[in-house]
A and B are shown apart, each in its own frame.
Chain A
């Protein structure tokens, strides 16, 4: 599983890095210890050599007298260094061995190392490798002095050089043994400690990473199972915390989209069901009464069916338009629009519907309105939508006023390349809209359960299209309302001002300042 793998990886790499680091530092420390041990041992050997040489030196008179090196050996035994005594020689300044433990060497040349120790005045002696052995050599000149006069003349000179050579092998073996021991102990003991420490640290670090990751994974699983209320709720400021919060807001967005989808289905199914109900009823009634139905009644019913199928077609077109506009795929036309004419024509078209509801339609169009650029069909649809809503919501026997005027307030323009606009408003004398719903009603399929939209009988779709159309043209759409008095829906379409002198052709239409359609 993902979680295991991540944790394993982290533990492995951190443990490896730590082990290498700790191992290296252990090795460095150990070898440093071994080196100092070496030095210590050389120091000890030197001490022994000095002791031995001093003992010999102090007794040199007797030994020389007897001329017997055995005496010297005895002295060596006294210093407890005999076992390590490799060579005991007295050589003359010319480097010729005069006396030696090994009688064969007498008369031969002393080895160069030993001679150099004397010549170079290396008073501390010298450790050196002789074949597989490591030896320590120390020399001491024997000066002619009072106790020597028994045999020698009284001249000031060096009588010979005492040369002691100790074998360091046994010590080296001990050292090697120690080193071996340290190594084994290091690998088992220190190695185990290093490994344990590394693993513990790595686990700790892995947990730090793993905990938020596991939490995120758990929430992802919850969401996958369909629980849209699951949230990471991370408070950490690190990347994982940010990731958690991003995930949360993503789920919020999906949640909202899914609610919008539900609202959409609700709105659309209502819009579909209404015409279908009339169609179904009248079609079945006519089937029931075939041959007996009054022809005038039949014509009336068929007309209903015909109109309602048109309404279904419009609904489907609206849906497709809205989908295309939202996806930015709608092919907008760009043509000259006479908004005054659009308003007047739409009022004309709806006069029948107004009559049916006993509603006066009043249009008040300012004279000489300029031409705007845009999609004529969509603007017509926009005005028609607002007008049909107003007719639907105004009280029976009241009036609906449609106005069109010029304006220059930048607050009513969304595309700020423009400065002037034409504002079209429809005012009804209906029950009005609660202030908190004034903006909501333009949102896409929003709040179907809300009292206002429900009692609107599904205008959600129409107003969303209106908003999309107005925004495309760079204008603004809004509603103002006083509860129990009425509502005014307004939109603006900005236009480019022509230089003075080039007046728009307003005269050829010669519009009346206002018109009343009853």
Chain B
């Protein structure tokens, strides 16, 4: 079955970039334009990986992450936060919110692809066992 990735960013062009990277690797892409939508779509579609921006209207990435990790249905989905490189505070906050990893902006296409495969392959192995 094709793996599903939920990408969430309030900037349409960044969302477009994330979608491009997901589709290039042959995964199915679900998009969300704000935190609330991300939470709702995560619960509806139960993706294999979630990419979350931090600064978004309605609900920021940390809050979305905390809610996902508090919910038994979504707790095990890996979450990758999109942070700014200089913001060490955000990286720590992401960890505290339960995020599994982070990618700094601006990002390279190869970095995104590598990260997708890394996380999804690892999950694949765990599931097979």
Contact = CB atoms under 8 A, between A and B. Distances in A.
Contacts of A273: 84, 105-106
B106 A457 contact: no
Interface in A259-298: 269-270, 273-282, 284-285, 288
Given A308-B13, A455-B35, A277 B107 contact: yes
Interface string B9-48: 0111110110011000000000001010100000000000
A317 B56 CA distance: 25
A504 to B, nearest CB: 39
B86 interface: yes
Contacts of A356: 12
Task: Tell me which of B14, B35, B59, B86 has the highest count of chain A C-beta atoms within 10 A of its own C-beta.
Answer: B14
Contacts of B109: 281, 284-285, 288
A457 B55 contact: yes
B107 A455 contact: no
A278 B108 contact: no
Contacts of A474: none
Interface string A357-398: 100000000000000000000000000000000001100100
B59 A455 contact: yes
B57 A278 contact: no
Task: Tell me which of B21, B107, B109, B110 has the highest count of chain A C-beta atoms within 10 A of its own C-beta.
Answer: B109
B62 to A, nearest CB: 9
Given A269-B86, A431-B57, A278 B20 contact: no
B60 interface: yes
Contact of B108 (A269, A275, A281, A451): A281
Nearest to A304: B13
A276 to B, nearest CB: 5
Contacts of B106: 273, 276-277, 279-281
A307 B10 CA distance: 17
Interface of A is mostly: helix
Contacts of A281: 14, 17, 20-21, 106-109
Nearest to B86: A269
B57 A277 contact: no
A454 B16 contact: no
Contacts of B108: 280-281, 284
A455 B56 CA distance: 4
A269 B85 CA distance: 11
Contacts, number: 80
Interface in A399-444: 430-431
A456 B58 CA distance: 8
Task: Tell me which of B37, B59, B105 has the highest count of chain A C-beta atoms within 10 A of its own C-beta.
Answer: B105
Contacts of A277: 11, 14, 17, 105-107
Contact of B11 (A278, A280, A285): A278
A278 B55 contact: no
Nearest to A458: B55
Interface in B71-122: 84, 86, 105-110
A285 B20 contact: yes
Contacts of B56: 455, 457
A431 B57 CA distance: 8
A274 B57 contact: no
B33 A278 contact: no
A274 B14 contact: yes
A457 B11 contact: yes
A430 B21 CA distance: 30
Given A269-B84, A277-B17, A285-B20, A454 B105 contact: no
Contacts of A279: 106
A275 B16 CA distance: 12
Task: Tell me which of A279, A281, A285, A431 has the highest count of chain B C-beta atoms within 10 A of its own C-beta.
Answer: A281
Given A281-B107, A457-B55, A274 B35 contact: no
B7 to A, nearest CB: 12
Given A273-B106, A284-B109, A455 B55 contact: yes
A480 B58 CA distance: 17
A273 B55 CA distance: 12
A280 B14 CA distance: 10
A282 B17 contact: yes
Nearest to B53: A457
Contacts of A392: 10, 57
Contacts of B60: 451, 454-455
Interface in A456-500: 456-458
Contacts of A430: 57-58
A73 B121 CA distance: 147
B114 to A, nearest CB: 13
A449 to B, nearest CB: 9
A458 B53 CA distance: 13
Contacts of A454: 54-55, 60
A278 B14 contact: yes
Nearest to B59: A455
A457 B14 CA distance: 13
Contacts of B54: 454
Chain A to chain B: the 9 pairs with minimum beta-carbon distance, closest first: A278-B13, A281-B17, A280-B106, A277-B106, A277-B105, A457-B55, A455-B60, A431-B58, A285-B109
Interface of A: 269-270, 273-282, 284-285, 288, 304, 307-308, 356-357, 392-393, 396, 430-431, 451, 454-458
28 contacts: A269-B86, A274-B14, A274-B105, A275-B13, A276-B105, A277-B11, A277-B14, A277-B105, A277-B106, A278-B14, A278-B17, A280-B106, A281-B20, A281-B106, A284-B108, A285-B20, A288-B109, A288-B110, A304-B16, A357-B33, A393-B57, A396-B37, A454-B54, A455-B35, A455-B58, A456-B55, A457-B11, A457-B56
